[in-house]
Amino acid sequence: MRVQKTVLLPVLVLLMVACQKSGYHLTNQTYQRIQVDSVAAPGNTAMTRFLEPYKQKLGQTMNEVLVESAVPLDKAKPESALNNMLADAILQYGRQTLGVAVDCSHLNYGGIRTSLPKGPIRIGHIYEVMPFDNQLTLMTMKGSMLREFFEYFIGNQAEENALIVGGVRVVVKNNLLTSITFTNGRTFDPNQTYTVLMSDYIASRGGGTAFLKDAVARKDFAVTIRDVFIDYFRQLGKSGQPINPTIDGRISIQ
């Protein structure tokens, strides 16, 4: 056995060196669509039986009704009832559950993947709206950066962006902010600092927000935005009344 190992080691080294020196590079690429269905991949009866109890338990969880909605809720630009509700959910969670001082909240438009239906809104629907495991992050930034942050999303609407905020009202003209008003009573000053609760994806410069690396401070929370939404709609459902949200004009385009 020792002789075999001694012989194999130099051979492996030579093969690795040869591969490195060969200078392989991509010259062409093709793809083929492969249909995966019950014909191409027939079901495994034993595996189906094994997974059935877990499937039933998951189904019970996903079918839990959180609240009834009197209207369908769609995301839209520059503003929609769904946009506002989800941003407000983040803001409320930060202030009431996390107990942090939050001036406003922000939500990534592209992160909202679908609409919510009229009628029962279930946990499964929230997973469809927010399938990602993005977590909450509190960013502290100067007013000048906050303005740049808002204007970035206003000016990139063609790239599946739009400004979704809670706790603040803005007026926009020619893709520039002409007014920023906080609902907590603070006034906007480019030299003051403000706290914004947002997705860790955006805070980590996802979607092109590289300038956030110069933020004053950052604090991450181990809670997914999806769970925040589930908690928010569950609390609304405790009233026993259907929700019927409308837009409130927080995004004003002139």
For residue 5, the model assigns a pLDDT of 43
- In the prediction, which pLDDT does 160 show? 64
The predicted structure's pLDDT at residue 3 = 41
Q: Over 90: is that where the pLDDT of 144 sits? A: yes
Average pLDDT for 41-60: 74
Q: Would you call 105 helix, strand, or coil by DSSP?
A: strand
Top-confidence residue, 209 or 144:
144
Band of the pLDDT at 20, cuts 50, 70, 90? low
The 10 Å Cβ neighbour count of residue 18 is 9
Higher pLDDT, 47 or 148: 148
Q: Who wins on pLDDT, 186 or 15?
A: 186
Taking the C-alpha atoms of residue 97 and residue 91, their distance in angstroms, rounded to an integer, is: 10
CB half-sphere exposure, 105, CA atoms < 13 A: 22
Write the pLDDT tens digit of every residue in 91-138. 999 999 999 999 999 999 999 999 999 999 999 999 999 999 999 999
What pLDDT, on a 0 to 100 scale, did the predictor assign at position 145? 97
Query: Which of 16-30, 101-115, 117-131, 174-188 comes out lowest in average pLDDT?
Result: 16-30
Query: What are the C-alpha distances in Å from 218 to residues 87, 122, 135?
Result: 19, 33, 13
* pLDDT tens per residue across span 78-101: 999 999 999 999 999 999 999 999
Structural domains of the chain ordered from first start: 68-246 (3.90.780.10)
